[in-house]
Structure 1
Amino acid sequence: MRLPTPPELLHEPRWRRTWAWLWAAQWLAVGIAALSPGEIAPTLSPSDKLDHLFAFAVLAATGVLALRRQASSMLLVAALLLAYGGFIELAQMHIPGRYGDWGDVLADALGVALGIGVVPLLRRHGPWARA
């Protein structure tokens, strides 16, 4: 058994199911991290805005890879993730040591745009492009 090449991972539909499972696991991980009480909430960087941007960029890119290559799929990923980010901020208002912040939703939105935008670039350019 050989490992898939990067172009196979980005282009071949047979990998969609794998991307979908990974996407579901990421949703769960982000939800657990975001809804943990403030004193135990994990961070990846000195800025929670960067954490939001990174998490939602990864979620968006994985979502695009999990769905069909259509503009409507990208819009669906964007809508779902923006709603998820808003829900998280509203829910955090009820968690000890956490608070809702619309700046976090903005960081989520920027991450979604970055994640959705990077997949088509990777598919077209560099070592990830189909030969």
Structure 2
Amino acid sequence: MDDPRTQRWLRRAFVACVLFAFVMALLPRPPALPGAPGDKVQHMIAFATLGCLAAAGWRDKPVIVLFAWLAVFGAAIELFQAIPALHRDADWVDWLADMAAAAIALFAVRQVLDWPR
């Protein structure tokens, strides 16, 4: 997992997922997902994915730094969703769901990757 090519791939995947999440969060009517998961579930899936990719892609960064990046990103999404022209609803509980999922994913992935061999 410490291979530079793997790190680059994980970082690119992270950036792609950030862009996808941002676009989906700002679409006035995002497409329906299979199983119709609720808004909080969608937020948690997105931020768990981002947390996993960040923890694996930036092994040299402390988890708290990665968590801070994701917290700022989650807050930015909620601030943009508060723009009336976007026809979205900002909800700080969504941000709390984002942070919970990100924290669990970050710590879990780091625990697995740092597991003694």
In structure 2, the residue matched to 1:77 is: 66
* Contact 2:56–2:110 (Cα < 8 Å) also in 1: no
- The amino acid of 1:100's aligned partner reads A
Secondary structure at 2:31 match in 1:
coil
CA distance in structure 1 between the aligned counterparts of 2:86 and 2:11, rounded to whole angstroms: 32
- The amino acid of 2:102's aligned partner reads V
Secondary structure at 2:86 match in 1:
coil
CA distance in structure 1 between the aligned counterparts of 2:70 and 2:32, rounded to whole angstroms: 20
Equivalent residue for 1:104, pick from 78, 87, 94: 94
Pairs aligned (count):
113
* TM-score normalised to structure 2 length: 0.85
- The amino acid of 1:99's aligned partner reads D
In structure 1, the residue matched to 2:27 is: 36
Equivalent residue for 1:13, pick from 3, 15, 20: 3
Identity %: 30
CA distance in structure 2 between the aligned counterparts of 1:59 and 1:105, rounded to whole angstroms: 14
Q: Which has the larger radius of gyration?
A: 1
1:48 aligns with 2:42: no
Structure 2 alignment gaps of length 5 or more = none
* Contact 1:56–1:108 (Cα < 8 Å) also in 2: yes
Equivalent residue for 1:117, pick from 93, 107, 110: 107
Question: What RMSD in Å do the two structures reach over aligned CA positions?
Answer: 1.9
Structure 1 alignment gaps of length 5 or more = 1-10
* Contact 1:43–1:51 (Cα < 8 Å) also in 2: no
* TM-score normalised to structure 1 length: 0.77
